[in-house]
Amino acid sequence: MADQGLVRETACAVVDKLKAGDVTPLDLLDVLEKRIAEVDGKVNALPTLCFDRARSHAKALMQKPAAERGLLAGLPVPIKDLTNVAGVLTTQGSPIYKDNVPAKSDILVERLEENGGVIYAKSNTPEFGAGANTFNEVFGFTRNPWDTSRSAAGSSGGAAVALATGTAWLAHGSDMGGSLRNPASFCGIVGLRPSIGRVAHTVSAAVDRNLGVQGPMARNVEDLALLLDAMSGEHPGDPLSLPSPATSFLSAARSGSKPKRIAYSPDLGITPVDPEVKVVTRKAAERFAELGAIVQEAHPDLREAHECFHVLRAFDFAISKAQLLRTKRNLLKPEVIWNIEEGLKLTVEQLERAEAQRVALAARTLEFFDTYDLLLAPATIVPPFPVENRYVAECDGKKFDSIRGRRDRASLSTASLRSVARRATYACSPAAFSAMVSACLVCSTISSSSSSRLILALSPVSRPCSASITMPCSPAQIFSA
């Protein structure tokens, strides 16, 4: 019988065991199936399981020599329920697709399987990934494992909770405006939004659609680097995809390099932030000074970030979901309807202005990184909020009156910055991981140039909530370099 203690191991350690023949992919699937039965009913992280498919894939993989089983060597990985997995229910969190079983997997899934990943589950997401709280009418709410009365954030909430509860060693997610980073912060794990093209995926709606990206989640930075290595690489089906870098992300994560000059901003000059979040993240930033780095309070000029992101996001909803609005309006949630309608009302002049703002934001951000190696900011503007709240309605005395306000302010404006300033973001460089590892409280990061500049988001949670579930590791273990 497989050792249930494996749920506490790091992904890198488990992969080492797989390569050494100490465990098999089938052993790991047995461990996960038992663990899911024990804990997932309390948090609803992985509503769709596909263990029969996973075991078939694992058996086929085990027929290959160990050296030919890929980077992951048979490690199980869950896929966010926005992404197609052949033969597996893929709902996108929408009643429209509650019975959808795709015949073909997304490019991302095919690559993970080629690299030795074994897909065993789909993780929960808000409808079409729209929202900073993971709930939908198909599967319901995903709950924060540290306190099940609280939100796990969104939209990769199911993935984050699976990692925190030991029902996954690694997890796939996606991110437009914080969806890999906010759940990582709320759940005490690590999420990374890679640069455009770093992770190839199946194109939909538009060939050059690039506001959202696919990315990795894990319990620590080295595990995250391992998954990013397995995800990365050029693919002819994704014209924006990039070749894998010459140096692996895992090697870079282990190199020990540290940033020298660091900027910290509690609010980037454009958003309210909960006082607790400011205190906790400022203390985290001060730890870099203790390690010998120069730390100064500063941020780029981001005055257009909100306006620019609102326009570009609405346009993205319009080109990807307008047909659903015309034919299935009664099955869409209000937030999705609002975003599509906002996009359909846009003029060419508004799009022209937003794209120009994006270029300007990127240019100023690049100039900022001529001075600083790293920009630190909170991952979210609030600590975990009640799970029944659809969105954050207030922060530090400021009320958000519209759907737009509630939807956006659940995530810090760094999310908008990383999306709209992305034209300054080239290949997510392996050297970036060296700086990332030195940040023991890291919750998410993105390189801001090919010369390894980073925007790094810190967890706003000063203390873990009373754990409702026996967790596979402590916050100290999660954040150790």
Q: Would you name the residues annotated as active-site residues?
A: 80, 155, 179
Of 464, 473, 467, 477, the C-alpha closest to 5 is: 473
348-368 helix and 305-328 helix, angle to the nearest 10 degrees = 140
Integer Cα distance of 473 and 347 in angstroms? 50
- Alpha carbon 481 to chain centroid distance? 19
Name the pairing type of β-strands 213-218 and 394-395.
unpaired
Cβ–Cβ < 8 Å for 445, 365: no
The token duo for 189 is 């794990």
Helices (H), 400-452: 403-409, 414-420, 430-438
The amino acid present at 21, given as its one-letter code, is G
Of 276, 300, 298, 290, the C-alpha closest to 439 is: 290
- CA dist 269 → 286, 413, 419 (Å): 20, 9, 17
Of 388, 474, 408, 438, the C-alpha closest to 182 is: 408
Rg (CA), the chain: 21
Count CA atoms within 13 Å of residue 39 on its CB side.
26
25-43 helix and 157-165 helix, angle to the nearest 10 degrees = 110
